[in-house]
Amino acid sequence: MEIPNLILEMESSPKVQEDTDQKIDPDLSVKHDDEAHEAKKTEEKQNATRASTLDTILKSLWKISFFRKELISSFTEDELVSEHRDFILTHPMESNGVYDFLVTILDLLPRWNTGYEHDKSLKSMFEVYEMPKKMCNRCKTDTEYPLELAYGLLLIANSLREFKANSFLSFYYHVKTTLMLPCDKEGCGKRNYVERVINTLPSVFTIALEWENNETEEEISATTSVLATEFDISEIYKYEGDSIFTKYRLVSMVCLCGDQYNCMAYENNRWIRYFALNKEVIGDWNSVLSSFLKLKIRPEILFFQNVMGQSLV
């Protein structure tokens, strides 16, 4: 009576089942091997893409003089990219979006084991603390909401086109002025505009563009034509600080060209494109816009540096 039970246990084991399947279909084992091989290739490709994306983001960060000044005494550009990339890749990432990668990098900066005593200052360069405020036009009740931490703006490329904005600032102003909430005072309830207030200026302001995957040349042109190389942050937020340096200038970008990320940086009064191990001089801003259209390049992260920082570094 014990022998049948033993046979039943053996026949239900994975190894016996696999052998049985192979006798029925000799090609099954080959199929399993092919699937495992393809899965491995896919994983390797994803890892390579992730590493390449991180390299491009880090290179773009290095082109920001504020950021570079803090580390240049300890690292070269290549050392920063390789060491920081290896550190970041040891941490799990829940999303493959390039903006999510940037946020992950900024969140991990204070934990980067470099021996540098002021790691937190690197992250704080990009932080924007917004305080939403609302004043009721009817009862004059002021309402302040909790501080919100952001690293800049996240704009939808398609929305820019649909709004037909002549600049991203005009689009954001439209969004900002349509945000209304009812008064919190009992018995009032009048809807009022909400202002976003900042008291301190970030050293670096980030604008991220979220694209689809199938934009035409016309759509890319319509989106990138509203971008500018300079803006005043007081046009985005109500600034209540005392600095007179409220202007920001574009210094570098993380761009997607095909399935590869490129870094574009403003160096020596001209724009340069870095891709793979190559370097290409683009020229002035109009030439950059032309290259967006010609090569179907989509800028995804734009880094603007405070003009005071550019004059002091």
Topology of the domain covering 37-312? Cathepsin B; Chain A (3.90.70)
Task: Look at 12-16, 70-74, 130-134, 214-218 and tell me which has the smallest mean pLDDT.
Answer: 12-16
Q: What is the pLDDT of residue 245?
A: 92
Q: What is the pLDDT of residue 138?
A: 85
**Helical pair 14-24 and 2-11, crossing angle rounded to 10 deg:** 70
Q: DSSP class of residue 32?
A: H
Amino acid at position 61, single letter = L
Backbone angles phi, psi at 68, to 5 degrees: -65, -40
The sign of the torsion formed by the CA atoms of 268, 275, 109, 149 equals: positive
Q: What is the pLDDT of residue 282?
A: 97
Per-residue pLDDT tens over the stretch 158-171: 877 777 666 666 76
Per-residue pLDDT tens over the stretch 245-293: 999 999 999 999 988 899 999 999 999 999 988 999 999 999 999 999 9
Q: DSSP class of residue 229?
A: S
Overall average pLDDT of the 170-188 stretch = 74
67, 73, 77, 80: CA torsion to nearest 10:
-80
Per-residue pLDDT tens over the stretch 115-158: 444 445 678 889 999 988 888 888 888 888 899 898 888 888 88
